[in-house]
């Protein structure tokens, strides 16, 4: 016997739950407002990044002559120039370009799953959800590699004024520039990565439900739409993190 309390027929009176404010269902509306509050959190983190960046000296000289120093905020082409399997090669922004493409692709497969849900096409929903889970997991793997590289550092490191060398970064020392730079890197990309991880967990849950025919029996795939909203938001945040961290 089912323990769920889902109503067989929704209430329809204006004061009986039948009224839909803003012509969106309760679940979708609440997802929108949750995402709005989440956007405030990410906005706050990016605002702190902008403020910290502007109170440090920007490097204005020739980019080729740039060396890591606590004096300057680092320029992104010099920090993010590594690629898995290509040790020691200078490939500025190549890996982050790959990550961005993967996340945009996962957004497309998600919207295709939503579209399939509108048509009640269970097989297509399953197929596109699996692709989205795959791309999301690859993105998480890429981020794990990126973090591992950022923490262990490159071969040159940074030479301090007393002659000691430091490699890599943690919350207090950082070979790439001011320690605050690494703190913000860990916080912002970490918070985004946590969102991607939660998104993958939600996708696995709705994938299992889809396979079991839960949404088919319910008569609509609105849950896929709601998780889709969340997943696109994660992609949206990455668009901003990418611009402010890796380009500017």
Partner 1 sequence: MHSDHSHDFDHTADIPKPQTKVIWKTFFILVALTAVEFLFAFTMDAGTLRNAIFIVLTIFKAFYIVAEFMHLKHETKALIWSVLIPMALVVWLMVALISEGSYYFDSVENYFN
| Shortest separation between residue 23's beta carbon and partner 1, angstroms | 5
C-alpha pair distances (Å), 69 with each of 81, 98, 178: 17, 28, 7
Give the residues lining the site for partner 1 (CB under 8 A): 2, 8, 22-24, 29, 32, 36, 39-40, 43, 46-47, 50-57, 63, 75, 77, 92-93, 97, 100-101, 104-105, 107-108, 110-112, 115-116, 119-121, 124, 216-219, 228-229, 232-233, 235-236, 239-240, 243, 247-248
Beta bridge partners of 165: 159
Contacts of 101 (CB under 8 A, 6+ apart): none
Taking the complex as a whole, the smallest distance from the CB of residue 79 to partner 1 amounts, in Å, to 13
Is the CB of 32 or the CB of 145 nearer to partner 1?
32
Residue 77 or 166: the one with the smaller Cβ distance to partner 1 is 77
Looking at beta carbons only, is 103 or 169 nearer to partner 1?
103
CB of 207 to partner 1, least distance (A): 19
β-pair type (57-58, 72-73): parallel
At CA 26, angle to CA 24 and CA 27, rounded to 5? 100
The sign of the dihedral angle between the CA atoms of 76, 77, 82, 88 is negative
Query: Please, which residue, 116 or 169, has the CB nearer to partner 1?
Result: 116
Q: Name the residue nearer to partner 1 (CB basis): 35 or 140.
A: 35
Min dist. Cβ of residue 61 to partner 1 (A)? 10
- Smallest gap, in angstroms, from Cβ of residue 175 to partner 1? 21
Task: Give the E-state strand segments of 125-221 in sequence order.
Answer: 158-159, 165-166
Nearest-approach distance from CB 152 to partner 1, in angstroms: 25
Round to the nearest angstrom and report the end-to-end CA distance of the chain: 57
Measured CA distances, 87 to 23, 150, 157, 203, 232 (Å): 54, 14, 15, 34, 33
Nearer of residues 97 and 140 to partner 1, judged by Cβ: 97
């Amino acid at each position: 016997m089912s323990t769920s309390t889902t109503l067989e027929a929704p209430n329809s009176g204006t004061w009986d739950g039948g009224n839909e404010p803003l012509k969106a269902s309760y679940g979708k509306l609440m997802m929108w407002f949750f995402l709005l509050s989440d956007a405030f959190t990410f906005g706050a983190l990016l605002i702190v990044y902008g403020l910290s960046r502007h109170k440090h000296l920007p490097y204005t000289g020739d980019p080729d002559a740039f060396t890591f120093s606590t004096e300057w905020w680092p320029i992104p082409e010099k920090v993010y120039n590594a690629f898995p399997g290509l040790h020691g090669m200078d490939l500025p922004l190549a890996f982050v370009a790959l990550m961005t493409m993967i996340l945009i692709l996962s957004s497309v497969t998600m919207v295709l799953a939503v579209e399939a849900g509108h048509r009640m096409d269970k097989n297509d929903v399953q197929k596109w959800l699996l692709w989205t889970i795959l791309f999301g997991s690859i993105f998480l793997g890429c981020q794990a590699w990126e973090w591992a590289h950022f923490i262990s550092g490159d071969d040159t490191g940074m030479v301090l004024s007393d002659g000691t060398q430091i490699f890599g970064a943690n919350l207090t020392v950082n070979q790439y520039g001011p320690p605050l730079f690494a703190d913000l890197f860990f916080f912002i990309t970490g918070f985004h990565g946590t969102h991607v991880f939660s998104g993958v967990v939600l996708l696995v849950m709705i994938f299992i439900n889809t396979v079991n025919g839960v949404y088919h029996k319910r008569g609509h795939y609105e849950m896929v739409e709601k998780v889709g909203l969340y997943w696109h938001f994660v992609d949206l945040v990455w668009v901003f993190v990418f611009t402010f961290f890796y380009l500017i």
